[in-house]
Amino acid sequence: MSVYNAPLRDMKFVLRELFDGSSLQTYKGYEDFSDDLIDAVLEEAGKLSSEVLFPLNRSGDEEGCTFENGVVRTPSGFKEAYKQFIEGGWTGTTASPEYGGQGLPKAVNALVEEMLCSANMAFAMYPGLTHGAYNAIEIYGTEEQKQTYLPKFVEGTWSGTMCLTEPHCGTDLGLIRTKAVPQDDGSVAVTGTKIFISAGEHDLTQNIVHLVLAKLPDAPPGIKGISLFVVPKFMPKPDGGVGARNGVACGSIEHKMGIKASATCVINFDNATGWLVGEKHKGMRAMFAMMNTARLGVGVQGLGLAEVALQNGLLYARERLQGRGLKGAVAPEKPADPLIVHPDVRKNLLTMKSMTEGVRALSMWVAINQDIASHAATPEERQAADDLVQLLTPVVKAMGTDTGFDVANLGVQIFGGHGYIREHGMEQYVRDARITQIYEGTNGIQALDLVGRKMGQHYGRYLRAFFHPVQDFIEANATDPAMEEMVLGLAKAFGRLQQAVGYTAQKGMSNPNEAGAAASDLLRMFAYVAIGFMWARSAKIALGKGNDDPTGFYKSKLKTAQFYMARVMPQTGALLSQILAGGDTIMNIEDALFDAA
């Protein structure tokens, strides 16, 4: 039987001690979010997650969603849980008070989202998609669109989706065929088919509002001809209710290996009435308002799954008796020692712990800077914060989801044969985590985004947002004997990263395949260094506590940081070797030789 307890102590550490989240109260709009209020929000989110959503996780996976006569039904208990979810105001946490939201800082909400995903990732996806739709309409929608849809999203009675992918194209959206034909009343008639639409149809809300990428008749070819349209399932009425059914129908739901309680739909649009969002032919700009939010959210999904896998792996390792310690019996009064005494099990657990807590810290760094980018007083502060967010978004998405999958797999390994069966719940985390590495842009796409776009953006300005604070930290702590181990490990890896960035930029200018061949390795190296920076900062805090550590929390931080620097950070050396090997060994094999017999 799986367990989950919200890791509130570590969440408060990264929010307050690692990043001084209390300073958010100095920004306009955040004045009322005292530490006590934020603690109450986190504690209530933890209760909701562990007491309401977590008990539905396994049953929801086993029952899945059902599709009959165009109607999708979520698993037993989901409607009741969603009702409780919206009654608690959780659908409007970060939304503007202007539309009934609470205006919660994004940094705090990231922690809430992590808890929801740990407890029940499939459930968390329904309100998560709505959050992305809210962002796109708030930024690019007309005033009428904002007043029509945003309050409904906030109260949770209407939900939202992203409709991008079509049967013949995934990432290459320039190939989409969905058409939007202008009508005399200013609306458009949308016709086409979209696939892999998460929460595209379900029984949780009164209305489902689709944000759809389509092309107008005068659209130029390729991605520059895409527009974004809002297409509701039911036509909105002036009084805020729902009217006639629109030309939107679910054709089927996918039968998946994971997140089975989240409906993934084929959605057919047949002359469906919609309205342009933003400028025509500029739909990708508006869609990226959703996609960037979603990419960070998916990274947090991976983190949430890593946390629950870690908790269950640790519990099992402590309780399961198996063999004796290599140096002799550790618990001679018992018939065998617990698994946790064995070096390989401990290595797995420390890898799980160091990566999970490291990704949480990295995610919080980005989330804090999202808040600064939107609320700081000066344009310079906002730009500097946004530069870091832009640079690290693909890193958080890719490394967060890789970590979720890797940690869940290590959890299965700790359980042994019991991890391979449903009884203990570990195998579900592996299945659920696997999709996170694919959707919202595969992790290979994230790597190309980092290398092909973000690194060179504004003559390297985004890179400076990361390189400068790391270099400043290394220089500031270089003469501290207590920090020698941390600084040395970080400095070596940082030097490798700088070398890899320079090499890839130089080679990629003359041959883009060189940059493409290095991209995934470079993103992972970037992530290891970024997480190492988080651990070095955490170690400095822990060292400053001395004996003021009654629970051993800070000692645990220091020991885990030491493990990370000694056992994880050296992987940057191998990654550098792979990058410097160049792209020839990847690209110089003829296609026909892949299956030559």
The pLDDT tens digits for 111-150 are: 999 999 999 999 999 999 999 999 999 999 999 999 999 9
Q: What is the model's pLDDT at position 288? A: 75
Residues 157 and 106 reside in one and the same domain: no
The whole-number pLDDT of residue 559 equals 98
pLDDT for residue 19 is more than 80: yes
pLDDT band at 13 (very low <50, low <70, confident <90, very high): very high
Residue 220 maps to a domain: yes
What's the pLDDT score for residue 189? Answer: 98
What per-residue confidence (pLDDT) applies to 223? 84
pLDDT of residue 95: 96
Domain containing 522: what range? 443-585
How far apart CA 449 and CA 266 sit, in angstroms, is 28
Please report the pLDDT score of residue 116 as a whole number.
98
Q: What are phi and psi of 389, to 5 degrees?
A: -60, -45
Where residue 233 sits, what CATH number does that domain have? 2.40.110.20
In terms of domains, do 237 and 166 share one?
yes
Kindly report the pTM of this predicted structure: 0.96
Long-range contacts of 8-11 (CB under 8 A, 24+ apart): 8/42, 8/43, 8/46, 9/553, 10/357, 10/360, 11/42, 11/111, 11/114, 11/360
344: in domain: no
> What's the one-letter identity of residue 148?
T
Tokens of 351: 């890898």
Domain endpoint, select from 108, 140, 172: 140
Confidence (pLDDT) at 356: 98
Q: Is the pLDDT of residue 243 over 90?
A: yes
Find the helix or strand (DSSP H, E) in which 91 lies.
none
**Residue 483 covered by a domain:** yes
90 and 214 share one domain: no
pLDDT at residue 552, as a whole number: 97
Residues 122 and 176 in one domain: no
- The proportion of the chain whose per-residue pLDDT surpasses 90, expressed as a percent, equals 94
* Eight-class DSSP state of 332: T
Please report which confidence band the pLDDT of residue 10 belongs to, taking 50, 70 and 90 as the band edges: very high
Pairing of strands 227-232, 207-214: antiparallel
Q: Secondary structure of 476-542 in the HEC alphabet?
A: HHCCCHHHHHHHHHHHHHHHHHHHHHHHHHHHHHHCHHHHHHHHHHHHHHHHHHHHHHHHHHHHHHH
Q: Alpha-carbon distance 112 to 41, whole Å?
A: 8
| Residue 218 sits in the same domain as residue 261 | yes
Q: Residue range 453-480: average pLDDT?
A: 96
Q: How far apart are CA 354 and CA 561, in angstroms?
A: 7
Can you give the pLDDT at residue 444? Answer: 97
Among the ranges given (284-298, 300-314, 481-495), the one the predictor scored with the smallest mean pLDDT: 284-298
The answer to the question of residue 291 being in a domain is no
Residues 113 and 184 in one domain: no
Contacts of 103 (CB under 8 A, 6+ apart): 29, 30, 94, 95, 96, 97
Mean pLDDT of the chain: 96
Q: What are the start-end ranges of the E strands in 221-366?
A: 227-232, 234-236, 242-245, 248-253, 264-277
Calpha distance 64→262 (Å, rounded): 8
One domain, residues 179 and 128: no
The per-residue pLDDT for 218 is 94
**Residues annotated as part of the active site:** 440
Say if 511 falls within a structural domain: yes
Pairing of strands 207-214, 158-163: parallel
Rounded to whole angstroms, the maximal C-alpha distance in the chain is: 84
Give the long-range contacts of residues 444-449, CB within 8 A, separation 24 or more: 444/519, 444/520, 445/171, 446/295, 446/394, 446/395, 446/397, 446/398, 446/523, 447/394, 447/398, 447/519, 447/520, 447/522, 447/523, 448/516, 448/519, 449/394
Residue 426, in any domain of the structure? no
Regarding whether 580 and 513 lie in a shared domain, the answer is: yes
pLDDT score of 259 = 98
**So what's the pLDDT on residue 293?**
79
Encode pLDDT of 57-72 as tens digits. 999 999 999 999 999 9
| CATH classification of the domain holding 121 | 1.10.540.10
List the beta bridge partners of residue 340: none
The pLDDT, as a whole number, for residue 56 is: 98
End-of-domain residue from the set 140, 172, 200: 140
Domain count, the chain: 3
Q: Residue 284 — pLDDT band, cuts 50, 70, 90?
A: confident
Is there a single domain that holds both residue 87 and residue 193? no
pLDDT at res. 47: 98
**Tell me, what DSSP letter sits at residue 25?**
G
Q: How far apart are the C-alpha atoms of 291 and 484, rounded to whole Å?
A: 40
Q: For the chain, how far is it from start to end, CA to CA, in angstroms?
A: 48
With respect to residue 592, please indicate whether it lies within any of the assigned structural domains: no
Does the structure show a pLDDT above 90 at 181? yes
**Does the residue 32 lie in any domain?**
yes
Q: Give the pLDDT band of residue 450 (cuts 50, 70, 90).
A: very high
Angstrom CA distances, 37 to 32, 286, 293, 398, 410, stand at 8, 33, 25, 32, 36
- Provide the pLDDT confidence category of residue 97 given band limits of 50, 70 and 90: very high
Together in a domain, 129 and 23 = yes
Q: Hey, which residues does 71 pair with through a beta bridge?
A: 68
Last residue of a domain, one of 224, 254, 281: 281
| Residue 287: pLDDT over 80 | no
Mean per-residue pLDDT, 270-282? 96
Q: Residue range 505-526: average pLDDT?
A: 96
pLDDT (tens digit, 9 = 90+) per residue, 391-420?
A: 999 999 999 999 999 999 999 999 999 999
* Whether residue 147 is found in the same domain as residue 121: no
Which one-letter amino acid corresponds to residue 227?
S
Mean pLDDT to the nearest integer, 69-83? 97
Token pair of 69 as six digits: 């006569």
Q: Does 147 share its domain with 135?
A: no
Which of 312, 321, 316, 309 shows the shortest CA–CA distance to 404?
Answer: 309
pLDDT greater than 90 at residue 289: no
